[in-house]
């Protein structure tokens, strides 16, 4: 995802004018597909007050997939809203109600503590770092730039640097109708089999309305918006 992240310099509060464009709460539901087959449903709730933010992302198998394999995943990210966008402080992941992974960001010491099951490690924390849940919502605060973005991401297992490119505008078809989006894609290296793309709705505050992930075995998981609302409370 693309933006002026390269400038994550100050943790100061965003000006009121900049925040006015970002609704304090958004609720998004998704249909999740493996290829052309629907296998699950997802729901994100993002909220902020201009100083702090919280996003909860929940997904579960549905239909035939649920009968064959029950999987409920809950991810949560909390942190600060800064001049450069979102700065995470705590990330957690649960699977079927059990803790799975977490990440704690210590920006003063510039280090992150990552927990994956029974394993824990402390690693250096670069300025342009996010957890995998907060990353997509940063574009609502700092829009994508044509020059692309280098970002460090973690899901609790490791913290790695990736490069993202802005591919331009694209109209996608959804249950909500045609949506004008900005398409952002991870730049893959020669040995990188995992692909990632996100489509940001231009008229919906750059919220992520489609997310496509390809795993190392070539399986393509596609999450497409079915509902998006901006309740006041």
- Residue 92: pLDDT over 90: yes
Rounded alpha-carbon distances, angstroms, from residue 170 to 8, 141, 177, 180, 201: 28, 20, 14, 6, 10
Average pLDDT rounded to a whole number, residues 187-209:
92
Structural domains counted in the chain: 1
Query: In terms of residue numbers, what domain contains 10?
Result: 4-229
Q: What are the tens digits of pLDDT across the range 115-151?
A: 999 999 999 999 999 999 999 999 999 988 888 899 9
Burial environment of residue 57 by CB neighbours within 10 A (0 to 12, 13 to 18, 19 or more): buried
Place of tokens 């190392």: 216
With 90 as the cut, is the pLDDT of residue 173 above it?
Answer: yes
Give the closest residue to 229 by CA, choosing from 11, 26, 2.
Answer: 26
pLDDT for residue 187 is more than 60: yes
126: CATH:
2.50.20
């Amino acid at each position: 995802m693309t933006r002026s992240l390269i400038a994550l310099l100050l943790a100061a509060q965003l000006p009121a004018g900049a925040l006015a464009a970002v609704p304090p709460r958004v609720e998004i539901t998704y249909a999740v597909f493996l290829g052309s087959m629907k296998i699950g449903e997802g729901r994100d709730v993002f909220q902020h007050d201009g100083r702090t933010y919280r996003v909860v992302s929940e997904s579960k198998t549905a239909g035939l997939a649920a009968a064959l394999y029950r999987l409920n995943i809950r991810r949560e990210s909390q942190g600060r809203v800064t001049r450069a966008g979102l700065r995470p402080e705590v990330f957690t992941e649960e699977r079927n109600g059990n803790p799975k992974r977490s990440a704690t960001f210590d920006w003063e010491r510039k280090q992150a503590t990552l927990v994956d099951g029974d394993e824990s490690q402390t690693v250096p924390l670069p300025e342009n770092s996010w957890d995998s849940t907060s990353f997509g919502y940063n574009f609502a605060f700092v829009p994508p730039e044509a020059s692309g973005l280098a970002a460090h991401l973690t899901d609790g297992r490791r913290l790695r640097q990736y490069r993202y490119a802005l591919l331009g505008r694209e109209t996608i078809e959804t249950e909500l109708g045609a949506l004008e989006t900005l398409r952002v894609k991870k730049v893959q290296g020669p040995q990188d089999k995992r692909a990632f793309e996100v489509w940001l709705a231009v008229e919906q505050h750059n919220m992520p309305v489609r997310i496509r992930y390809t795993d190392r075995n070539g399986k393509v998981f596609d999450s497409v918006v079915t509902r998006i609302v901006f309740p006041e409370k």
